[in-house]
Amino acid sequence: MIDINLIRNNPELVKENIKKKFQDHKLEYVDKVLTLDKQLRLLKQEGDNLRSSRNSLSSQIGILMREKNIEKANEIKAQVVKNNERIEEIEKEEEKISAEIKKMMMLIPNIIADDVPIGRDDSENVQRLTVGEPKVPNFEIPYHADILESLNGLDLDSARRTSGNGFYYLTGDIARLHSSILSYARDFMINKGFTYCIPPFMIRSDVVNGVMSFEEMENMMYKIEGEDLYLIGTSEHSMIGRFKDAILKEEDLPLMLTSYSPCFRKEVGAHGIEERGIYRVHQFEKQEMIIICKPEDSMDFYNKMWQISSEFFTSLDIPHEVMECCSGDLADLKVKSCDLNAWSPRQRKYFGELGSCSNLTDAQARRLGIRFKTSEGIKFAHTLNNTVVAPPRMLIAFLENNLNEDGSVNIPKALQLYMGGQTKIEPKKQK
């Protein structure tokens, strides 16, 4: 949510930003907010004047009563009652208008960074960097589900019976590999100076509304029936929510946190659930990183965060690209975002989002009331988030880039300790 002063002082900038995001249907919100804000300020002024008048009249009543001027005192008492009735009306009107303003402010997108490429959707994202040497082996690489099954590591049929499409069983060496990647990611981030956390896996609606847009919530979140609780789609939600209504100490910033959680997503939309594989599923696990910092530091941390992710995937022998998200691909709370996409030797192109890094500046902080105290007063903090790793999706890239012609999969040195010294996963012989 942007600062309303930006709409008051520069509504054309806000409108131009809406146009850059190809959301022209939201242009009317700017004018409506301006109109309602003017009404609200007039009501506040009227209310303040009436309260001041009430205080003055109340002091007069005491004097008149002491002077035995009962008739005049009663006249002023009647005026005080009238003022109180109007003040009550004003307060109700203020509450109603404030709610309308907030509703529209929540729909107006954050102001994107100046260097964000302008485009309608992810097809117009811009490649900024490639890391690692993309290789195309001289043998055919099977579909990832076939690789997993050849390693006796995936059981989709049983999962369909127990839970339906979008769920899976990982078994044997693959299940161990999955856990090893998460353990390695945890230690990798701790060594980068981040504090490790395990957050709640359910959050209340006021936190959900603070961390994401309503449309995102409807398409992603599972609600617990009969309770004000939602299953998290990413630990970023509960990690940022941890600081709701907090006033932090300036000297404690930045807060650099890394969190593990299971994640649950409806995956409603054009892509749908993949029935034969584990690329798009309802349940997965993830290691996340978030930073809460002072405004002047957020862009430096944004670049630091995606570079950490790039270093992590390089250590696992996964070539990748860094794609700058265009204006139309940015969620409304984001100022700037980039995706790390893995090289797919099977498809001979970069395909498969390994993670996404985002700077939301003060948008989440305004919604949730995350502030910090300075010598100049109270300011809103900036929040950033980035995926460290999200298996099982990341397993697809890992398998393709570490597969050998004989069907075995190399385990990079970084993971061997977590795999009990194992250097390869061998295909299982069919009985």
Residue reference for tokens 């896996």: 201
Q: What is the DSSP letter of 127?
A: E
Using DSSP's 3-state secondary structure scheme, residue 385 falls into: strand
Nearest alpha carbon to residue 126 among 114, 117, 134: 117
Q: CA angle at residue 423 from 387 to 425, to 5 degrees?
A: 80
User: What is the rounded CA–CA span in Å between residue 33 and residue 4?
Assistant: 9
For residue 220, the model assigns a pLDDT of 83
For residue 344, the model assigns a pLDDT of 95
Task: Provide the token pair at 275.
Answer: 């029935």
Q: C-alpha distances in angstroms, 120 versus 5, 125, 355? A: 28, 9, 21
For residue 392, the model assigns a pLDDT of 86
* 159 half-sphere exposure, CB direction, 13 A CA radius: 17
pLDDT in tens, the chain (431 residues): 899 999 999 999 999 999 999 999 999 999 999 999 999 999 999 999 998 888 888 878 777 777 778 888 888 888 888 889 999 999 999 999 999 999 999 999 999 999 999 999 999 999 999 999 998 999 999 999 999 999 999 999 999 999 999 999 999 999 999 999 999 999 999 999 999 999 999 999 999 988 887 667 777 889 999 999 999 999 999 999 999 999 999 999 999 999 999 999 987 655 556 668 898 899 999 999 999 999 999 999 999 999 999 999 999 999 999 999 999 999 999 999 999 999 999 999 998 889 999 999 999 999 999 999 999 999 999 999 999 999 888 999 999 999 999 999 999 999 999 999 999 999 976 54
List every span in the chain annotated with CATH 1.10.287.40: 4-105
Nearest alpha carbon to residue 391 among 315, 298, 294, 281: 281
Using DSSP's 3-state secondary structure scheme, residue 353 falls into: strand
Task: Provide the token pair at 327.
Answer: 């204006």
Nearest alpha carbon to residue 286 among 393, 365, 382, 193: 393
Residue 107 CA, chain-centre distance (Å), reads 15
Task: Identify whether the C-beta of residue 299 lies closer than 8 Å to the C-beta of residue 396.
Answer: no
Nearest alpha carbon to residue 343 among 122, 25, 131: 131
User: What is the rounded CA–CA span in Å between residue 395 and residue 287?
Assistant: 14
- End-to-end CA, the chain: 59
For residue 361, the model assigns a pLDDT of 97
For residue 431, the model assigns a pLDDT of 46
User: What is the rounded CA–CA span in Å between residue 344 and residue 192?
Assistant: 28
- CATH fold for the domain made of 122-425: BirA Bifunctional Protein; domain 2 (3.30.930)
User: What is the rounded CA–CA span in Å between residue 418 and residue 113?
Assistant: 40
For residue 267, the model assigns a pLDDT of 77
For residue 311, the model assigns a pLDDT of 97
For residue 414, the model assigns a pLDDT of 96
List every span in the chain annotated with CATH 3.30.930.10: 122-425
**pTM for the model:** 0.90
User: What is the rounded CA–CA span in Å between residue 320 and residue 342?
Assistant: 4
Domain 4-105 CATH assignment equals 3.40.462.10: no
